Amino acid sequence: MDLREKSFADTVRDIAAEGVVLLENNGVLPLTEDRKRIALYGAGAVLTRKGGTGSGDVSVEHVTNIVEALEEAGFEITTKSWLSDYEERIEKSETERFDRMKAEAAATGDPLMSVFLRNPQILVDGAELPRFAEKIDDETAVYIISRISGECADREALPGDYFLTEREKEHLKALVENYEDVVVVLNTGGVLDTGFYREIEGLSAMIFISQAGVACGTVLADVFSGRAVPSGKLTSTWARNYSDYPASGSFRDNTGNDKFYEEGIYVGYRYFDSFGIEPAYAFGYGKSYTDFSWEVCGIKADEEEIRLIVDVTNTGSLYCGKEVLQVYTSSPAGSLDKPWQELRGFEKTELLAPGETQRVTIVWETRSMASYCEEKAAYILEAGQYLVRLGNSSRNTEAVAAIELDETVVTERLRNRLAPCQALKECRPREYERETMEKAVPVYKIYAGNFKPAAEPYQESTKTASDKSYEKDCCTYEDVKAGAASPKTLVSQLSAEEMAALCVGAGAIGNGAVIGSAAIKVPGAAGETTSALYEKWKIPTAVLADGPAGLRLILRYQVRNADNSVVVPPTGFLALTGFERLSGKQPEEENCRYVEQKTTAIPIGSMMAQTWNPQAIRQVGQIVSAEMNQYGVHIWLAPAINIHRDPLCGRNFEYYSEDPLLAGICAATMTRGIQSVPGFGVTVKHFAANSQEENRFDQNSVVSERALREIYLKGFEKVVKEADPLMLMTSYNLINGVHAANNRELLKDILRTEWGFRGAVVTDWGTTRNGMRAGFGGKTRSLPEKCISSGNDLIMPGDVRDREEILSAIESGELSMEDLRTCAANLIRNLQRLCL
């Protein structure tokens, strides 16, 4: 590790403990100085998961697993023989898996990548544990449960995934008989059924270390030793029973393409709280090694904003810690159903020493409490009392104030968009009793008359496009860059062929492979924009590479000494951990040298959100942009901000939360972190209502306009309005019958007109199915010409057929030159923002 890599790894390590959620602790943690002997068991001890699979993976040379990390931190591992036996079991099972995949690829002819993605690693049982005659009390038993998931497949509500296997349960039962102290560690990307913790008596603590990238092992050593204090809070509800989740009944049922979002706005805690269901661990929950108290010392409320000033004190005597103060509000009953409570804001303290107090201020806009009324096509703040609840988890709050509004007020006038074209029966909570306040809370009166008049983004534009700009004589991108010509002017000179080339990624130049062989700039990057217009128009190429778990590039590749050209392996540069074992090592060519691209695996998205610390997220963003700078990547394909609708979504680990406000804040902070340095941009994905992996190309999310606006689009709206992301990626799925990439209401009306998005819109990879070989699933597709007419500016990775289909639509009159010009100009404007 060179110094720079080490400093990035250290930053991740310092931040990681802030995303660790301490679920249970009877006082055994942190392990005191005299408790250095650990009886370590469980799959994740050796097979520690740093993150998930697929495009949300990052290639790294070595992952320091939990065994190594604990030993480095000075712990003695007393169960080495059990662990090495487990390693042998894994190797045996992996050999069988790769043999099976090779046979499957030969039999089906499917691309190796698709075979690889549909054959995830199997969880192997560890050896049975002996029962000792007497309990051991000078060792702490630590049991690591790990799970992994990723793109293309959802998780399953089965043992080995959402549930513990019988063997895992047997192990835990043996451990409580053998040891005084038993700590359970969850090294998973998301929710697991934790019923075992209630069933098996004698467990001492449970800690959710999630998947911390380069710090996946060290973070546990740090929180065990007390070098760091866990201060993470859950960003999704952990239910007592999987069937408690409102979408659980139909989530895995893909017999048809329609997915009815019958729970409407009642997602996550909004559902559990409104329907009176007790979760195992609530949204916002997480313990510390110490305790905190808090006291409101000031409230200010008017028609603009509400401001809560709170003193937070570490009331413990031994350990430092950080607390997250959260504010929820309950809206008055009115003409619209309302969730029992909704998150409005939060603040995390600094590290407080025992006895230390910090003053924090939590602020939110008054109009952010409005609900969307489909009938009026407007956000309305209904008359009545808005109860303000303050606490350190969604289930541990106290009412501290009430905001009373005299009359209903319209805060934003919109137009009805994206209405479901099929009947959708949404569930409604029973009428719940308003909390009877034990102690009187101060009431702050606000008045409808004092609100600013509601904005209306759909005003007819008085500006007419000046045709003059199209008349200007020859200019190139260099003139645009110098400010001497506008993107529109440049575009006006391009032929339809040239614009179609610009709006289709560089895959179109070569042979239709993921990366056209004529155009590889950064091996392992997910794609490039075209370089075909460079010679004549000086239009530069932008390189796009995945996230969100760091910068996903190939770790090592060969370059020919003679001409510095890159040697392309027959399967392309896929940058998927373990793939080389299937594809075979690339043969060494003569007269070549190796080039390395080492990037930092950062904690998975949900873990970043679990820090509830925007400052930490920003810092991690700066690591990614430094690496983009080093390797020549311009656009990061992250953050990913889809909503955790159900815990079984295979990519929830990439996404932040079940709550759109939290997801939006995380995404906006990450965006600011990356884009703080000119020359780099993010791509916020996947827009929108993309809640599952299986059947992802054909799945049609049937969802109400209100649920879309309040839940599934809200986080995107926040990041667009507050952080100005360079790009947005449309999702594969359909929304109310229309593919996201072909959805004019989504892209033109909502994204651009209502929210004022000035970035570029890019498709997800292969959504037009052109250039996608058999074996990748998907029966329906977005049409390239409709991408253009709907405002999806760039089609990736791009294929010659995308270009041809656009051009024949222009010829037939189905697609207008004006629409093509608009997309081309959007792209040029955003290349310019990258300082290219």
Residues engaged in binding ligand BGC (CB under 6 A): 55, 151, 526, 546, 637, 685, 764-765
Q: Measure Cα distances from 366 to 344, 371, 413 in Å.
A: 10, 12, 16
**Which residue, 368 or 692, has its beta carbon nearer to ligand BGC?**
692
Nearer to ligand BGC, 43 or 152 (CB): 152
Report the nearest approach of ligand BGC to the CB of residue 642 (Å). 10
Contact present, 413 and 456 (Cβ < 8 Å):
yes
What is the closest distance, in whole angstroms, from the C-beta atom of residue 553 to ligand BGC in the complex?
Answer: 12
55 or 652, CB closer to ligand BGC?
A: 55
Task: Pick between residue 477 and residue 732 the one whose CB is nearest to ligand BGC.
Answer: 732
| Beta partners for residue 187, in sequence order | 146
Give the 3-state secondary structure of residue 496: helix
Helices (H) and strands (E) in the chain, counts: 23, 31
Which is nearest to 647 in space by CA: 136, 275, 283, 131?
283
User: Could you give the 3-state DSSP secondary structure of residue 499?
Assistant: helix
Within its chain, how far is the Cα of 475 from the centroid? 41
Nearer to ligand BGC, 59 or 371 (CB): 59
CB of 54: closest distance to ligand BGC in angstroms? 7
* Cα–Cα nearest to 190, from 655, 742, 588: 655
At residue 17, φ and ψ (nearest 5 deg) are -60, -20
Q: How many other CB atoms sit within 10 Å of the CB of residue 748?
A: 20
Q: In this structure, is the dihedral angle defined by the CA atoms of residues 333, 337, 339 and 342, taken in order, positive or negative?
A: negative
Q: How far apart are CA 149 and CA 51, in angstroms?
A: 9
Shortest Å, Cβ 554 to ligand BGC:
13
Q: Give the residue with the Cβ less far from ligand BGC, 67 or 553.
A: 553
Query: 173, 200 in Cβ contact below 8 A?
Result: yes
Q: Which is nearer to ligand BGC, 179 or 697 (CB)?
A: 697
List the alpha helices (DSSP H) in 147-248.
166-178, 195-199, 218-225
Cα 415 from Cα 466, distance rounded (Å): 28
Q: What is the CA radius of gyration of the chain?
A: 27
Of 344 and 685, nearer to ligand BGC (C-beta) is: 685
| Beta carbon of residue 150, minimum distance to ligand BGC (angstroms, whole number) | 10
Q: Which is nearer to ligand BGC, 285 or 680 (CB)?
A: 680
HSE-up of 368 (CA within 13 Å, CB side)? 20
What type of residue is 94? E
**For residues 230 and 524, which CB has a smaller minimum distance to ligand BGC in the complex?**
524
List alpha helices for 724-783, DSSP H: 744
Closest distance of CB 653 from ligand BGC, Å: 13
Q: Which residues, other chains included, contact 134 with Cβ-Cβ below 8 Å and sequence gap of 6+?
A: none
- Within 8 A by CB and 6+ apart from 818, the residues are none
Interatomic CA distance for residues 748 and 754, integer angstroms: 9
Q: What is the dihedral of CA 58, 64, 70, 72, to 10 degrees?
A: -130
What is the enclosing helix (H) or strand (E) of 614?
helix 614-631
Residues 6+ apart with CB under 8 A from 569: 583, 586
> How near is the Cβ of 780 to ligand BGC at its closest, in Å?
16
| Least CB distance to ligand BGC at residue 527 (A) | 7
| Minimum CB distance to ligand BGC smaller for 274 or for 730 | 730
Distance of CA 819 to the CA centre of its chain: 31
704 or 792: CB nearest ligand BGC: 792
> Under the phi-then-psi rule, with left for phi > 0, alpha for psi from -120 to 50, and beta for the rest, what region is 158?
beta
What's the min distance (Å) between Cβ of 798 and ligand BGC? 12
For 43, the token pair is 């799959």
**In the complex, least distance from residue 666 CB atom to ligand BGC, rounded to whole angstroms:** 17
480 or 544: CB nearest ligand BGC: 544
Query: Side-chain half-sphere of 169: how many Cα atoms within 13 Å?
Result: 14
Least separation in angstroms between residue 250's CB and ligand BGC is 23
Closer to ligand BGC by Cβ: residue 97 or 685: 685
Instruction: State in angstroms the smallest separation of the CB of 649 from ligand BGC.
Output: 13
Q: Can you tell me which residue has the tokens 């309005």?
A: 721
620: CB partners within 8 A, 6+ apart: 11, 12, 15, 602, 603, 608, 670, 673
Phi and psi based region of residue 260 (left: phi greater than 0; alpha: psi -120 to 50; beta: remaining): beta
Cα within 13 Å of Cα(698), Cβ side: 12
CB of 228 or CB of 794, closer to ligand BGC: 794
Angle at 574 between CA 716 and CA 619, to 5 degrees: 45
CB 826 within 8 A of CB 793: yes
Residue with tokens 């209405």: 419
The least CB distance from residue 422 to ligand BGC, in Å, is: 26
Structure tokens at 178: 């053998």
The residue (of 68 and 546) whose beta carbon lies closer to ligand BGC is: 546
Task: Report the residue number, 477 or 697, with the smaller CB distance to ligand BGC.
Answer: 697
* Least separation in angstroms between CB 690 and ligand BGC: 9
Tell me whether residue 20 or residue 637 sits nearer to ligand BGC (CB atom).
637
The secondary structure of 542-597, three-state, reads CEEEECCCCCECCCEEEEECCCCCECCCCCCCCCCCCCHHHHCCCCCCCCEEEEEC
Minimum distance from residue 55 beta carbon to ligand BGC (Å): 4
Min CB(374)–ligand BGC separation in Å: 30
